[in-house]
């Protein structure tokens, strides 16, 4: 009994010494390592921006490499118990565990990226990455000599399918016969598999690589082979200075800063944020290693999208030849978020 009392005393001492009432603690849960230089890295850049912008008013913490399974719930609860005022879950697989913890801790604010379940104290946020993918598609079609791109993908969830479709729509707007070969690697982060997939796709005749996985591996293979590709999530130019034509950069910083500020001001409310190029959530890295007219086209498209145009504007015909959206009709957000069909011209089957 004495021992327990002693331990409790020590625990209390630590709790008191680490608690600082005036500071807001903002916490992040990452699915990958922050050293992936892709998805989790960019979220962490956002966290660092919060530290820089809000300085003394906040204290931040994060956990990396959290599996999207049974362990996730404990990590969220730990943060809630450690006094985090706002917790950001940065991956789709954290949705249910985060929601459970959110219900248990109604005074803590939660934000979940890329999911669809919310609560009074759990908001949603995502970015319209598909806007950038349309631009990549146009660049690929202009720059590819063979009219064939290789596309490395993780999991057939709507987010990814939406990206493939947008890329192909962009490419077909330049070259209606443009082809895409798709390889699923069933992982968000597996540099070995990603590199193998890139090699296989180049061997099969693709001369441009695009990926919806988080490492720099595919782009580095392109660099070695003297071919071209795009960065994913972050600007990967330093890993492939001659191969990267541009990159879709996830720019979470401004969003994180605004949300943490809202908690500080007491104005935080759960909402559903889905911003794109216009609001700066999606940023295109410098256009490079491409012809001048391609660059000009890319910039024009970027401006058009920033002006409010949606790449998913009809006429859009699906793989089976069925017209999904008539000319001039824009796909509603709900359709995009549940997208489970390919547009015409993709030689791959989605699991149905």
Partner 1 sequence: MIRIELVKRSQQSRVMSVLSPVIAVALTVIVAGIVFFLQGHNPLEGIWYFFLEPITSLWGIEQLVTKATPLVIIALGLAVCYQSNNWNIGAEGQLTMGAIVGSILPVMFPDFVNPVVLPLMLIMAMIGGALFALIPAQLKIRFGTNEILTSLMLVYCSNLFLDWMVRGPWRSPQGYNFPITVDFHEWAILDGHDFGGVYLNLSALIALILVIVLAVVMRSTLKGFEIRVLGQSPRAGAFAGFNHRRMTLFAFALSGALAGLAGMMVVMTEIQKLQPVISPGYGFTAIIVAFLGRLNPVGILIAGLVIASSYLGGEAIQTSLQMSSKVATVIQGVLLFFVLACDTLILYKVRIVAGRAGEVARA
Asked if 260 contacts 58 with a C-beta cutoff of 8 angstroms, the reply is yes
Q: 233: which strand partners? A: 249
Asked if 215 contacts 38 with a C-beta cutoff of 8 angstroms, the reply is yes
Under rule CB under 8 A, residue 155 binds partner 1: yes
CB 351, min distance to partner 1, A: 5
Complex with partner 1: residue 125 or 202, whichever CB lies closer: 125
Complex with partner 1: residue 98 or 223, whichever CB lies closer: 98
DSSP E strands: which ranges in the chain? 24-29, 58-63, 86-89, 109-113, 122-127, 148-153, 179-184, 208-212, 228-233, 244-250, 272-275, 282-284, 316-317, 323-325
Under rule CB under 8 A, residue 274 binds partner 1: no
Asked if 132 contacts 167 with a C-beta cutoff of 8 angstroms, the reply is no
Is 212 exposed, middle or buried, given 0-12, 13-18 or 19+ CB atoms closer than 10 A? buried
The SS3 of residue 22 is: coil
Closest to 159 (Cα-Cα) out of 237, 119, 212, 219: 212
- According to CB under 8 A, which one of 41, 62, 167, 287 is a site residue for partner 1? 62
Under rule CB under 8 A, residue 340 binds partner 1: yes
Question: Among residue numbers 74 through 113, which ones bind partner 1 (CB under 8 A)?
Answer: 74-75, 77-79, 81-82, 92-93, 96
Under rule CB under 8 A, residue 51 binds partner 1: no
The SS3 of residue 349 is: coil
- According to CB under 8 A, which one of 156, 191, 254, 280 is a site residue for partner 1? 156
CB 327, min distance to partner 1, A: 26
Under rule CB under 8 A, residue 64 binds partner 1: yes
Question: Among residue numbers 168 through 197, which ones bind partner 1 (CB under 8 A)?
Answer: 186
**Which residues sit at the interface with partner 1, rule CB under 8 A?**
7-8, 10-11, 14, 18, 27, 33, 61-65, 67-71, 73-75, 77-79, 81-82, 92-93, 96, 116, 155-158, 186, 337-340, 351-352
């Amino acid at each position: 009994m004495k021992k327990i009392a002693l331990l409790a005393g020590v625990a209390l001492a630590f709790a008191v010494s680490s608690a600082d009432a005036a500071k807001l603690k903002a916490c992040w849960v990452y699915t990958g390592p922050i050293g992936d230089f892709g998805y989790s890295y960019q979220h962490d850049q956002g966290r660092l921006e919060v530290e820089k912008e809000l300085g003394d008013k906040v204290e931040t913490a994060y956990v990396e490499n959290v599996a999207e399974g049974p362990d996730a719930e404990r990590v969220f609860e730990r943060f809630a118990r450690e006094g985090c005022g706002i917790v950001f879950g940065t991956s789709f697989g954290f949705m249910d565990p985060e929601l459970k913890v959110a219900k248990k801790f109604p005074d803590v604010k939660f934000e979940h990226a890329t999911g669809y379940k919310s609560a009074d104290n759990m908001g949603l946020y995502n970015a319209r990455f598909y806007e950038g993918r349309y631009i990549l598609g146009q660049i690929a079609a202009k720059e590819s000599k063979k009219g064939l791109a290789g596309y490395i993908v993780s999991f057939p969830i709507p987010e990814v399918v939406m990206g493939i479709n947008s890329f192909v729509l962009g490419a077909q707007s330049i070259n209606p016969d443009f082809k895409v070969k798709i390889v699923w690697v069933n992982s968000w982060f597996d540099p070995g598999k990603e590199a193998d997939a890139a090699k296989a796709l180049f061997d099969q005749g693709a001369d441009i690589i695009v990926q919806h996985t988080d490492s720099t591996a595919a782009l580095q293979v392109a660099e070695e082979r003297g071919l071209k590709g795009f960065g994913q999530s972050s600007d990967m130019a330093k890993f492939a200075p001659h191969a990267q034509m541009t990159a879709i950069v996830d720019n979470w910083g401004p969003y994180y800063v605004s949300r943490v500020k809202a908690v500080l001001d007491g104005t935080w409310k759960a909402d559903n944020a889905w911003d794109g190029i216009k609001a700066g959530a999606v940023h295109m890295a410098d256009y490079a290693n491409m012809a001048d007219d391609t660059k000009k086209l890319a910039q024009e498209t970027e401006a058009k999208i920033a002006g409010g145009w949606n790449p998913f504007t009809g006429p859009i015909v699906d793989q089976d030849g069925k017209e999904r959206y008539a000319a001039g009709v824009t796909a509603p957000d709900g359709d995009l978020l549940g997208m489970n069909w390919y547009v015409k011209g993709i030689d791959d089957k989605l699991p149905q």
